[in-house]
Chain A
C-alpha cells in the first residue's frame, strides 16, 4: 500500500515535470515547446523520504549542429528546478533519433499558423523528391508550390515559393 502511494506520487511528479516542460520553447520557433517537438525522450526521477532529489531529463536534438541546444538545455534546467529538485540533469543523446515525424499534430498546426509550412511525414525514413513537393503554402493554402532551396535561415528550414499567392515562404524540413 505504501509502495503504491509512492508510485502514485512519483507519477504525479513526473506528470508535473512534463507539464512544466511545455514552458520551454524552441528559441528559433517560439510557438512550439520542446515536448510538442518530440525532443524529450525520457524523464527520470529520484525521490527519497518524500523529497524531490534529482530529475534527469534526456533530450534528442533536431539537428546535430543546432546552435540552440545549449540554450534549450539551460531553459529546461531553469524551468524544472522551479519544482524544487535538489538537482536537475539534462542529457543530450542520440539513442532515440529525432525525426520530424516525432512532431505532434498540434505542433504542426501551430507551425503553419506561425507561417512555417510543417514537414510531411517520412515514415520509412527515406527522403524522396516527391516528399519535397506537394507542400501547402501557410499563407494561402495552395499546394502549387516549389522548393527554391533546401537551405534557409536556420538549419531546420527550407525556402519555398508559392505560385498561387506569389510569395516566398519557409518550410520546416522533413528529416
Chain B
C-alpha cells in the first residue's frame, strides 16, 4: 500500500510544485497588477501545497525531507503531468491551463477528503478551501475573455484546443489504480476525469467557447511515469540553480 500512496502523493506534489513555479513566472509581468498578484499568490499557495504533501511523504512514508524532494531529484523522478511543465506562453494559455488544471485539482482534493489515509484526508479538507479561490479566478476570466472581443475569444479557443490533450494527460493511470480504489484511498483517475468533464463543460459553454473534441490517440501521457516534455529540464535547472551551487549548504 505504501508504494501506491507514494505514487499518488508524488504526482500531486510534483504537479503543485511545477505549476507553482510556472505561476511565479508571472510575478512582475502580469497583464495588470491584479493578475500579477493573483498568479503570484496562487504560486505561493501551490508551492505550500507541494511542501505539505512532501512533508507527508517524509514524516509518514519515510521519504527524504521536503527540500530534498523538491530540489535534489532528477527530471525522470518527477511524476508531474506534462500540462504543468509547459511554458506560461501568453496570458490566454496560462489562464486556460489554470482553469483546466485547477478544476481537476479541486475535484481530486474533494474526493480525497473521504480518503482512508487520514493525513491526506485532513490536508485535503484544508487545501480545498484555498483552491476554490483559484478556480473562481479561472472561471471569471475564462467567461470574460470567452465572451469578450473577437480576438480574446479566438485566443481562448485556440489555447483551449492546444491545452486539451495535455490536460487529459492529468488523468494518466498508474499501476496502483486498483489498489488505491480498493483501499479507499482515492476513487481513481477515471472517476476524477468523469467529474472534471461534467464540471468544466457547462463553464466552457457559458463562456461561449467550444469543448474540444477528444482524440484518444493525441492525449499526452508519460509525465506520471517520468517521461517529460523538453520544458521540464530547463525549469528544474533554473529552480534548483541556487541549491546546486552548494548542495549541502544550510539555509
Contact = CB atoms under 8 A, between A and B. Distances in A.
Interface of A: 63-67, 93-95, 97-99, 125, 127, 129, 148-153, 155, 159, 173, 175
A149 B38 contact: yes
A98 B49 contact: no
Category for how many chain B residues contact A: 20 to 34
Contact of B48 (A65, A97, A99, A175): A65
Interface in B21-71: 34, 37-38, 40-42, 44-49, 51-52
Contacts of A125: 129
A94 B45 contact: no
Given A64-B52, A65-B51, A148-B34, A94 B44 contact: no
A159 B35 CA distance: 12
A67 B44 contact: yes
B137 interface: yes
Nearest to A150: B133
Contacts of B37: 149, 151-153, 159
B187 interface: no
B29 to A, nearest CB: 16
A10 B111 CA distance: 42
The winner among A64, A67, A93, A95 for most chain B CB atoms within 10 A is A64
- Among all A-B residue pairs, the 3 with the closest Cβ atoms: A65-B48, A151-B41, A149-B34
A93 to B, nearest CB: 8
A159 B126 CA distance: 22
8 contacts: A63-B130, A64-B123, A150-B38, A151-B37, A151-B40, A151-B42, A153-B37, A155-B45
Contacts of B40: 151
Interface string B119-158: 0001101110110110011000000000000000000000
Nearest to A122: B129
A97 B122 contact: yes
Contacts of A97: 122, 125-126
A63 B34 contact: no
Nearest to A152: B37
Chain A facing B: main interface SS: loop
Contact of B129 (A93, A127, A129, A152): A127
A159 B41 CA distance: 13
A64 B126 CA distance: 8
Given A63-B45, A63-B48, A155-B45, A94 B123 contact: yes
A103 to B, nearest CB: 14
Contacts of A64: 45, 48-49, 51-52, 123, 126-127, 130
A65 B34 contact: no
B45 A175 contact: no
B80 to A, nearest CB: 18
Contact of A159 (B34, B42, B52, B123): B34
A168 B45 CA distance: 24
B48 A66 contact: yes
A124 to B, nearest CB: 12
Contacts of B129: 99, 125, 127, 175
Nearest to A99: B129
Contact of A127 (B44, B127, B132): B132
A65 B131 CA distance: 12
The winner among A95, A151, A155, A175 for most chain B CB atoms within 10 A is A151
Nearest to B37: A151
A149 B129 CA distance: 17
A66 B40 CA distance: 13
A155 B41 contact: yes
B126 A151 contact: no
B122 A65 contact: no
A144 B174 CA distance: 51
A67 B123 CA distance: 17
A67 to B, nearest CB: 7
Nearest to B137: A150
The winner among A65, A95, A152, A153 for most chain B CB atoms within 10 A is A65
